[in-house]
């Protein structure tokens, strides 16, 4: 593909030179038909190399490469590209107001990725009112309860179909709560794949909607965008169906200017019953030449890769997609022109940041906010290093494929009005000493009432985020969690620590016994998991109780058909320069997950180990009613060992608590043949209240 593109660019340069020597002929299309078949619709005959082509009206279908044209101008009408490698080739391509370039679609898994818009040119101009439109031209939705097409196709269901995934996960809601559905896939730095279709509902008799298509633009000089390039998933039209994910828009050019729109968002789900999931955001990438871009006025283009919106902020919402920009010149003050997850440029500096919708940063981006960050509103979510969702068995895990994200503020970081923040990690060479994501807050880290922070360690490597701040305040009814979330039935919504074994998926094992993931051979934590064959094998204690740096290990399982362990609790690690304050009703959790299924009595598996909470500060202030919890997960309902309790380790110079903070590191309950089995309970964990030396203290070591 690279060699072919080089030949095309060289050919385009040759055509431009030819046009200067010989007068190019102008060929005009009117009517409907095929470029090469319906030659009667060409005024002046079939275009040849070096000609200037005008599409004046009608629909023009393109099933093979165009000749190398001097110019292609759409003054009106629609150009429809078919086949994956069909290429629009011209020195200059212009799309005027009311004109459209699109592709055929949607299409199913076979043949895969059969259509897209592919433009190779020197200059591309999309005027205001003109559009390159491939929304709903990607993978098709599933019919009558079947899964949508594509790598991230949404699940089919009787009543709860899922949204398609791509750059962001698809959403879904089952009877007990919201779950992640369509998988993420593709390369955020060079996206080429279409979006996946949503799942269909057999109960409602509906077909899921299609994902967005794919647009690839190779411009050797400039792209001027005052119109729009869209690759959105199709909306649900107000009916119960999963919607498609956003597609791909990949632009390489010297410069990008204008004030238009680039959008690869998930399909909007307006059905008010809340059961159907929306599609995840797609992927956008723009790679330019910053040395040339700086000579032009700063563009004011809007980039959207947002999740499929739900009516009235209903659940079953999906994940935001990825936006990779090679040049910070594309970013407006406060990042106000970007909605999605920024995977580049590598260094981002802004004066202040206000987040009122899902928004994030991915991979190893270095982010500096000079002043305050405000995350406000029930729809607001700041995501750090949450690029991907993977499945290990049925449970899913949020992570980054690479470590190294650094997020720094000069002022406060404030969560208020029901907002949340999710921080994950990529893998590192040594998860005990090398933290995958680092958050540094120059002022106060404030969780106001009704807000929450979710921390997710890498599920197989164990690398975790770490937080540095001047002060931390967790208000009443605020939650700081690295715990495992369970929402009923077989589902584990998301995990904080090491992954569990599930069915015949685990870190090691065969036959009736599978290990969960964890540090060394310890598939427990602190006190260790109880030893019982159906839980894989009992875990052993691990980590430093005075300075914990690992998440809890996942539970094992046996009986591949019905086995499933619990995920480990994660790691909350916060180092404050001055004060940590936990108000009454504040909670910090790193609990392990329960073994598979707490409603069916034929499931077997060990609980996940509790994780760790490590707080270090000069002054600790705790109020009665504040809770710190790192409990082990209980076993599956039929048979299994309980997960070991975790570690709570609090170190301070001074303690100004007005009451007693509740701590809980209880080991998980064991089960045997549908009955409680104390012999298989996980051991309790460890609580450390450590005293740091004051300023000027001399410690003599003999």
Q: What are 391-446's pLDDT values in tens digits?
A: 787 777 888 999 999 999 999 999 999 999 999 999 999 998 999 999 999 999 99
Q: What are 29-38's pLDDT values in tens digits?
A: 999 999 999 9
What pLDDT does residue 85 have? 95
Both tokens assigned to 258:
């204008």
Least confident of 142-156, 389-403, 516-530: 516-530
- More confident of the two residues 528 and 347: 347
What pLDDT does residue 520 have? 41
- More confident of the two residues 604 and 152: 152
Band of the pLDDT at 523, cuts 50, 70, 90? very low
Phi, psi of 9 (to 5 degrees): -65, -45
What pLDDT does residue 191 have? 98
Interval 296-324 mean pLDDT:
86
Band of the pLDDT at 528, cuts 50, 70, 90? very low
Q: Would strands 78-81 and 33-34 be described as parallel, antiparallel, or unpaired?
A: unpaired
Q: Which has the closest alpha carbon to 222: 154, 274, 293?
A: 293
What pLDDT does residue 6 have? 42
Residue 581, classed as helix, strand or coil, is strand
Q: Which has the closest alpha carbon to 530: 541, 521, 519?
A: 541
Q: What percentage of the chain reaches a pLDDT higher than 70?
A: 86
What are the C-alpha distances in Å from 389 to residues 153, 185, 282, 321? 14, 9, 14, 12
Least confident of 8-12, 42-46, 566-570, 594-598: 8-12
Q: Would strands 131-133 and 100-103 be described as parallel, antiparallel, or unpaired?
A: parallel
What pLDDT does residue 269 have? 86
Q: Spell 627-645 as b/e; 16+ CB within 10 A means b.
A: bbbbbbbbbbbbbbbbbbb
What pLDDT does residue 154 have? 93
What pLDDT does residue 494 have? 59
Q: What are 657-676's pLDDT values in tens digits?
A: 999 999 999 999 998 888 99
What pLDDT does residue 525 have? 30
Least confident of 185-194, 524-533, 594-603: 524-533
- More confident of the two residues 148 and 277: 148
Q: Spell 14-52 as b/e; 16+ CB within 10 A means b.
A: ebbeebeeeebeebbbeeebbbeeeeebbeeeebeebbb
Least confident of 207-221, 263-277, 278-292: 263-277
Residue 493 pLDDT greater than 60, yes or no = no
Length of the chain: 702
Contact (CB, 8 A) for 515 and 603: no
Q: Which has the closest alpha carbon to 110: 140, 154, 144, 145?
A: 140
- More confident of the two residues 313 and 29: 29
Residue 511 pLDDT greater than 60, yes or no = no
Q: In angstroms, rounded to a whole number, what is the distance separating the alpha carbons of residues 522 and 530?
A: 11
- More confident of the two residues 172 and 541: 172
Interval 494-516 mean pLDDT:
73
What pLDDT does residue 124 have? 98
Interval 19-37 mean pLDDT:
83
Band of the pLDDT at 247, cuts 50, 70, 90? very high
Write the DSSP string, 392-416: SSS-EEEE-SS--EEEEESS-EEEE
Rg (CA), the chain: 28
What pLDDT does residue 180 have? 76
Q: Where are the domains of the chain?
A: 2-347, 348-702
Q: Give the list of residues 6+ apart from residue 245 with CB closer than 8 angstroms, or none.
A: 138, 150, 152, 163, 164, 165, 166, 167, 168, 170, 182, 195, 196, 211, 212, 233, 266, 267, 279, 280, 281, 282, 308, 318, 321
Q: Which has the closest alpha carbon to 265: 251, 279, 276?
A: 279
Q: What percentage of the chain reaches a pLDDT higher than 90?
A: 69
Interval 83-109 mean pLDDT:
96
Segment holding 587, helix H or strand E = strand 587-589
- More confident of the two residues 176 and 611: 611
Residue 702 pLDDT greater than 60, yes or no = no
Q: Give the list of residues 6+ apart from residue 647 with CB closer than 8 angstroms, or none.
A: 525, 526, 543, 545, 548, 610, 611, 612, 613, 614, 630, 665, 685, 686, 687, 688
Interval 494-508 mean pLDDT:
78
Mean of all residue pLDDT scores within the chain: 88
- More confident of the two residues 160 and 191: 191
Residue 533 pLDDT greater than 90, yes or no = no
- Backbone φ/ψ region at 356: left (φ over 0), alpha (ψ -120 to 50), beta: alpha
Interval 98-102 mean pLDDT:
98
Both tokens assigned to 82:
């078919």
What pLDDT does residue 392 have? 80
What pLDDT does residue 22 have? 53
Interval 71-98 mean pLDDT:
97
Write the DSSP string, 293-325: HTTSPPP--EEE-PPPPBGGG-S------EEEE
Interval 686-690 mean pLDDT:
96
∠422-425-431 over CA atoms, to 5°?
140
Highest mean pLDDT out of 312-321, 599-608, 621-630: 621-630
Band of the pLDDT at 174, cuts 50, 70, 90? low
Segment holding 271, helix H or strand E = none
What pLDDT does residue 595 have? 84
Residue 336 pLDDT greater than 60, yes or no = yes
Interval 554-574 mean pLDDT:
84
């Amino acid at each position: 593909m690279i060699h072919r593109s080089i030949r095309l660019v060289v050919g385009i340069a040759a055509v431009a030179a030819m046009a200067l020597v010989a007068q190019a002929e102008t060929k005009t299309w009117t009517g409907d038909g095929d470029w090469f078949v319906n030659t009667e619709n060409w005024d002046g005959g079939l275009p040849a190399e070096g000609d200037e082509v005008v599409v004046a009206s009608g629909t023009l279908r393109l099933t093979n490469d165009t000749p190398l044209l001097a110019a292609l101008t759409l003054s009106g009408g629609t150009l429809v590209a078919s086949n994956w490698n069909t290429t629009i080739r011209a020195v200059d391509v212009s799309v005027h107001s009311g004109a459209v370039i699109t592709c055929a679609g949607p299409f199913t898994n076979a043949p895969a990725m059969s259509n897209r818009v592919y433009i190779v040119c020197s200059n591309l101009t999309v005027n205001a009112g003109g559009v390159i439109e491939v929304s709903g031209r990607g993978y098709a939705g599933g019919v009558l309860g079947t899964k949508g097409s594509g790598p991230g196709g949404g699940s089919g269901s009787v009543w709860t179909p899922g949204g398609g995934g791509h750059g962001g996960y698809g959403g879904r809601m089952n009877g007990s709560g919201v779950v992640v559905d369509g998988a993420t896939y593709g390369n955020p730095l060079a996206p080429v794949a279409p979006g996946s279709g949503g799942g269909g509902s057999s109960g409602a008799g509906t077909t899921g909607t299609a994902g967005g298509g794919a647009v690839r633009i190779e411009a050797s000089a400039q792209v001027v965008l005052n119109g729009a390039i869209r690759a959105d998933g199709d909306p649900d039209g107000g009916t119960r169906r999963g919607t498609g994910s956003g597609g791909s828009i990949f632009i390489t050019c010297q410069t990008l200017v204008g004030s238009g729109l680039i959008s690869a968002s998930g399909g909007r789900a307006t059905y008010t019953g809340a059961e159907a999931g929306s599609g995840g955001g797609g992927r956008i990438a723009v790679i330019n030449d910053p040395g040339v871009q700086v000579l032009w006025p700063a563009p004011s283009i809007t980039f959207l890769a947002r999740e499929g919106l739900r009516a009235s902020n209903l659940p079953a919402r999906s994940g935001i997609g990825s936006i990779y920009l090679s040049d910070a010149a594309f970013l407006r003050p406060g990042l106000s022109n970007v909605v999605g997850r920024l995977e580049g440029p590598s260094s981002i500096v802004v004066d202040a940041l206000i987040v009122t919708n899902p928004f994030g940063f991915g991979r190893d981006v270095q982010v500096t906010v000079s002043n305050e960050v405000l995350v406000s509103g029930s729809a607001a979510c700041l995501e750090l290093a949450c690029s991907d969702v993977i499945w290990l068995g049925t449970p899913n895990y949020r992570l980054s494929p690479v470590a190294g994200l650094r997020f720094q503020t000069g002022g406060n970081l404030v969560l208020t009005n029901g907002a949340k923040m999710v921080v994950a990690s990529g893998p590192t060479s040594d998860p005990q000493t090398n933290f995958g994501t680092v958050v540094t807050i120059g002022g106060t880290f404030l969780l106001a009432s009704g807000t929450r922070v979710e921390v997710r360690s890498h599920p197989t490597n164990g690398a975790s985020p770490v937080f540095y701040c001047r002060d931390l305040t967790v208000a009443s009814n605020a939650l700081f969690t690295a715990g495992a979330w369970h929402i009923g039935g077989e589902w584990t919504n998301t995990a904080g620590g090491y992954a569990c074994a599930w069915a015949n998926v685990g870190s090691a094992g065969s036959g009736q016994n599978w290990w969960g993931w964890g540090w060394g051979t310890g598939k427990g934590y602190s006190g260790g998991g109880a030893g019982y064959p159906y839980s894989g094998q009992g875990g052993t204690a691990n980590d430093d109780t005075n300075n914990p740096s690992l998440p809890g290990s996942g539970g094992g399982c046996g009986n591949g058909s019905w086995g499933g362990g619990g995920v480990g609790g994660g790691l909350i690690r916060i180092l404050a320069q001055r004060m940590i304050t936990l108000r009454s009703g504040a909670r910090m959790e790193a609990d392990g997950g329960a073994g598979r299924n707490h409603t069916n009595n034929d499931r077997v598996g060990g609980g996940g180990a509790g994780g760790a909470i490590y707080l270090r500060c000069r002054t600790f202030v705790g109020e009665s009613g504040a809770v710190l919890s790192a409990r082990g997960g209980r076993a599956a309902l039929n048979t299994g060992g309980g997960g070991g309790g975790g570690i709570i380790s609090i170190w301070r110079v001074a303690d100004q608590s007005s009451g007693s903070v509740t701590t809980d590191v209880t080991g998980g309950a064991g089960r045997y043949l549908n009955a409680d089995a104390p012999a298989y309970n996980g051991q309790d964990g460890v609580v450390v209240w450590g005293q740091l030396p004051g300023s000027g203290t001399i410690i003599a070591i003999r």
